[in-house]
Structure 1
């Protein structure tokens, strides 16, 4: 069955690779971003990869009406089966420099837009008597705050709760909602650049390498597929094991348990 997949933030990084993964399955795609030139390039790649049909939409999802417009216009092409909310921003803003505009810019795109897009898709799907599937892109920052990332970490923590809350209410209506929470992934983003010092500081994990967009894309495609049909409200952490604990701490106290006096 050919599905209709909507991917936001599709012009680069995780969004781009996710679109290519769905394209290889022959799905119909609606790719959404604010970067027209890069979006067009990805659309061409998806066509080459095997997508049945590829459409692009240049939208700023920070607008309160844009998420609904996105779903309605995509639905006019064909009913939407899968929504991947990958668009996001990650500004570096020291806490004492925060203001309302900075806060709103992050929360509007990272949290409100996925929530409103999910509402719009749910209403369309229920009215049409169809099932649907949503995969949000969260972050390890939802669990661990970072300097300069108070709005971002808050937005992703809120997105994870929105994922659970929407899954709870929409599950009985045939709509699954899950999230993938990446660890540090090298995406070479012009919208969300990071220094090598920062990357080195946050990318340590038990599996010993940095993530790449395809690590996340594979998880998204799996969650959106039939093999995950009994999973909803789940946050799948794809992070090389970094959320398992602090890898680089020394032993808190070297102990020789062979000594009799150290046994209980």
Structure 2
């Protein structure tokens, strides 16, 4: 029976990940989130839809320095850890405070580190292998106004992913990350304006992402088919990393004719 821990499980991506694992017959799941009511509701839905899954909840704030103690049982560590929880507030740089900066780093970087280390120690002690997947973001490689703390945290999370992969790989513990593009999650905890969503959701595949797009990638990275993959950052973004379809041709047809370059190679 696969034992899975998912943080941010009351949110769109976290819940989609939890549901994907719950659909596996016999999955044993621990779902964590800072919102107890929403978390309980999500867990109840999973229990009703997937009777074969064992679902327990842990309401906690990942900013707590001892968060790993409440989520990782050293005598019964999870086979899979999915660090899906994340904070992405918007605050202009000139209005940034150390407190606002530190909270984002604590949730987005320190908590995944603490959970990965705690799970790694327990798995090594038990002589078992495992898989960790962190949820990063396209912001790890592209800054934007109001997101200095968020973008920095995701860049750090990607390096944390590689560092953990290097040190835990010899113990048979794989650590990877997915980096979603814009995904519609309708989260009251992390609201996004339609103006922003429209501006960032242009990609070669022509649609916004949905949580199940990310959940499928996470599930695959945790499985046997990805058994020789560690330290990877999988961009699940509709092709946004490759480029954009939003820009016009920088030359029009008439310009090409006038320059004599039309049809040349």
TM-score (norm 1): 0.94
Q: CA deviation at 1:139?
A: 0.4
- Is 2:208 aligned against 1:207? no
The alignment partner of 1:242 has SS state of coil
- Counterpart CA distance in 1 for 2:53 and 2:13 is 21
What is residue 104 of structure 1 aligned with on the other side?
A: 102
8 Å Cα contact 1:8-1:84 kept in structure 2: yes
- Kindly report the root-mean-square deviation, in angstroms, between the aligned alpha carbons of the 2 structures: 1.7
Q: CA deviation at 1:121?
A: 0.5
1:235-254 to structure 2, matched below 5 A, reads 235-254=233-252
- Is 2:77 aligned against 1:64? no
- Counterpart CA distance in 2 for 1:61 and 1:19 is 18
- Counterpart CA distance in 2 for 1:133 and 1:164 is 13
1:69-108 to structure 2, matched below 5 A, reads 69-72=70-73, 78-108=76-106
The count of aligned residue pairs is 260
62-71 vs 99-108, which deviates more?
A: 62-71
- Counterpart CA distance in 1 for 2:145 and 2:78 is 38
- Counterpart CA distance in 1 for 2:195 and 2:260 is 46
Q: CA deviation at 1:71?
A: 1.0
Render the CA deviation track for 1:149-198: whole Å, top value 9, x for unaligned.
11000000100010011001110111000001101000000110011001
Are residues 259 and 60 of structure 1, via their aligned partners in 2, closer, same or farther at CA, if it must alter by over 3 Å?
closer
The alignment partner of 2:241 has SS state of helix
- Counterpart CA distance in 1 for 2:7 and 2:216 is 16
- Structure 2: runs of 5 or more not aligned: none
243-252 vs 189-198, which deviates more?
A: 243-252
8 Å Cα contact 2:204-2:244 kept in structure 1: no
- Structure 1: runs of 5 or more not aligned: none
- Counterpart CA distance in 2 for 1:90 and 1:84 is 18
1:223-242 to structure 2, matched below 5 A, reads 223-242=221-240
What is residue 32 of structure 2 aligned with on the other side?
A: 32
- Is 2:56 aligned against 1:55? yes
The alignment partner of 1:237 has SS state of strand
254-263 vs 150-159, which deviates more?
A: 254-263
Q: CA deviation at 1:110?
A: 0.5
Q: CA deviation at 1:129?
A: 0.4
132, 136, 140: which is aligned to 1:138?
136
- Counterpart CA distance in 2 for 1:214 and 1:63 is 29
- Counterpart CA distance in 1 for 2:235 and 2:173 is 21
Q: CA deviation at 1:12?
A: 1.9
What is residue 180 of structure 2 aligned with on the other side?
A: 182
